[in-house]
Structures are given as structure tokens and as C-alpha cells.
Amino acid sequence: MRNRLVPLLTIMAMVSLACNLAPQVPVAVDRTAPVETAAPAATVAAPTLPPPTPTPVPLASPAIGAPTPPDAALNPAPPDRVVKLIFIHHSSGENWLADGNGDLGRALDQNNYFVSDTNYGWGPDAIGDRTDLTDWPEWFRGPNSDAYLTAVYAESEQHASYTRTLPDPGGANVVIMFKSCFPNSNLEGKPDDPPARGEGLTVSNAKYIYNDLLQYFATRPDKLFIVITAPLVQDPTYADNARAFNTWLVRDWLAENDYTQRNVAVFDFYNVLTAADNHHRYSDGAIEYVTDRGGNTSHYPTDGGDDHPSPAGNQKATAEYVLWLNAIVRCWLKEGGCP
């Protein structure tokens, strides 16, 4: 009996094991196919990066960024990075820039501005010859203005004698100063004439021209345009008109045009030269604009009846302009309050 039970128990165990296993599906293997082997890992060389280049200020529009609080203080400190600046001028501007005369070029250099300039004979079509107030539409709004302004923004040479120690940081000029010479203070008409298109040097035509320039300036928030008012003359014939026009530029021009961008400002070079106690400057946390402590003709003429401002006048203007400019640049870059 025992001998019969052993085979039976063996058979039952095998059946139980078979019920607990999933059926196995045979897999066909192509033994003629080649067997792939992993390729050895390749050694990848690190990319060679170009050396860093200096960064001009700014590369992009300063309109991109956090807004400055409305109660932010003015900041007269020099820019943190080198700013490329170009000055469009003739002889009065050349004297203002010059070492030993106005010393403006050296002062700007010491405040982190890489200064270039234009002068007589400069640029496409010798546009540098034409810097009267009535010539500015040709520069900024005329049929060839693209060519002229491309050259202005790319210029990096000196066309006057002044100290420049900073290396060129590369990139385009971003601060554009432009000034007419003293004959442009001989504006005909009446002090309160409204803007009107006309011919020649009149109060009305001058206002019309500057109003029209804003059409271009509004398209370039990446540039800061600094109007330098024309220096004055000793002849009193049109002195009241010159005073009224320049005061209008400083106080009313942008407001009358509802121009709210930060990329346009006016420095009243004219006013600074009318009296020792007339000012346009940064002082005690604010912009001080004093116009009523002198006359409307030149207080600082060159000896011999020459209407070019004297070194003393130019140096006074430099002392007032540089801190004023720093505050305006910081405002534009949203690194300080605005006047």
C-alpha cells in the first residue's frame, strides 16, 4: 500500500505546482542578427568662449525695468559704468570742452563719460557744418537723418582738444548733447509768440522746430537727448526774446507737448552765462534754476567784443553742468529720482 501512495503523491504535487505557474510563451530569437555592443563614450571638449567685452550703458532701453518711486531723491553721483556721450557743436562748444578753457571734456571724463564730438566738416554731407537751430530738423527729421544719426551714434573720435583717459567701452553713443552757437540767440518776433512754422530765426519758428523734434525723440527711449541752449550775445536787441525762448524750453516745452518720457532734458547754458548768481545746477538735493539775478546779455564775453563765452563763463557752466547731467542720466536710467 505504501509503495502505491508514493507515485500518487508525486503526481498530485506536480499538478498543484503547474496550477500556480503562468503559462510560458516561447520567444523566437534570430540568432543570425549581429549583436550590438555599446560604443565607448566620446570625450567632449569644453567650448571656447570669447572673452567678455565691456558693457556700454545701456544696452537696452532704460524704460525696461522697475519704475523709480515718485519721491525718490535725485542722484548726482557719476554713472556706475562708462557711458558713451557725443557732443554736436561748433566753436563755442569746442572752447567749452577744451582743457584750459571750459575743461568740460576733462570733467566729463572724470565722471565716467567716454566723450566724442562732431565739429565743422564732420559726417555725411558735411552735416557737421550745419548746427543752427533751423538745421536740427535736417539732423533729426529730414530725408537723410537716418544716415546722419547712424554716424552720430557710431562716432568715437575726438574733433576738439580735451582730455580723454577712459577706454572706449564699445557700443553706440547713448547720450546725445547738441548745441547751436551764439548767433542763434538773435531771435526775431516777440517773447510770447506761440509756436508756428516759419522761416529763419524767430521765436515762433524756434518753438515749432523743437516741438517737431519730439516726434523723433519719442521713438528712441534708448537715447538721452540733451538740449544745450545757445550762448548769448552782448547786443541787447533780441535779448528778451532769447531769454523767453530758453526759459520756455526749460519750463514749458515738454509739458506743453505732454511729453512724459525721461529721455529729453534741457540745460540752460544761456542762463548760466547771464550773471554770476544765475544758475542751472544740482544743489542741496534739487535742481536749482535761477534766472532773475542778472540781465539777458552776456556776463562772460571774451575780451574785445567777442561773443564767445570766456574761460571764466565756460568753467562756471562746467561746474554747474556735470552734477546736473549726472542727476539727469540717473533719472533716465531709473537709478535716481527725476526733477
Q: Does some domain include residue 91?
A: yes
pLDDT of amino acid 62: 54
Of 170, 135, 177, the closest CA to residue 154 belongs to 170
Q: All 3 cell numbers of residue 40?
A: 565607448
Q: CA separation (Å) from 75 to 21, 41, 177, 218, 285?
A: 84, 57, 20, 24, 8
pLDDT-based confidence at residue 41 (cuts at 50, 70, 90): very low
pLDDT tens digits, 107-141: 999 999 999 999 999 999 999 999 999 999 999 99
Q: Does some domain include residue 142?
A: yes
pLDDT tens digits, 56-92: 444 344 544 556 666 789 999 999 999 999 999 999 9
pLDDT tens digits, 253-279: 999 999 999 999 999 999 999 999 999
Question: Given a cut of 90, is residue 20 above it in pLDDT?
Answer: no
Q: Does some domain include residue 201?
A: yes
pLDDT tens digits, 288-320: 999 999 999 999 999 888 999 999 999 999 999
pLDDT tens digits, 133-151: 999 999 999 999 999 999 9
Range(s) of the domain holding residue 220 = 83-332
Q: Does some domain include residue 42?
A: no
- Number of domains forming the structure of the chain: 1
Q: All 3 cell numbers of residue 268?
A: 540752460
Q: Does some domain include residue 123?
A: yes
- Average pLDDT rounded to a whole number, residues 166-182: 97
Q: Does some domain include residue 338?
A: no
pTM above threshold 0.95: no
Q: CA separation (Å) from 184 to 16, 187, 228, 245?
A: 115, 7, 12, 11
Q: Does some domain include residue 211?
A: yes
Q: Does some domain include residue 57?
A: no
- Cα maximum dimension of the chain: 150
| CATH number assigned to the domain comprising residue 88 | 3.40.50.1110
Among the residues of the chain, which ranges form H helices? Answer: 2-19, 91-97, 104-110, 136-140, 145-154, 203-217, 239-251, 253-256, 269-272, 311-332
Q: Mean pLDDT of all residues in the chain?
A: 85
Give the chain's count of helices (H) and strands (E).
Answer: 10, 9
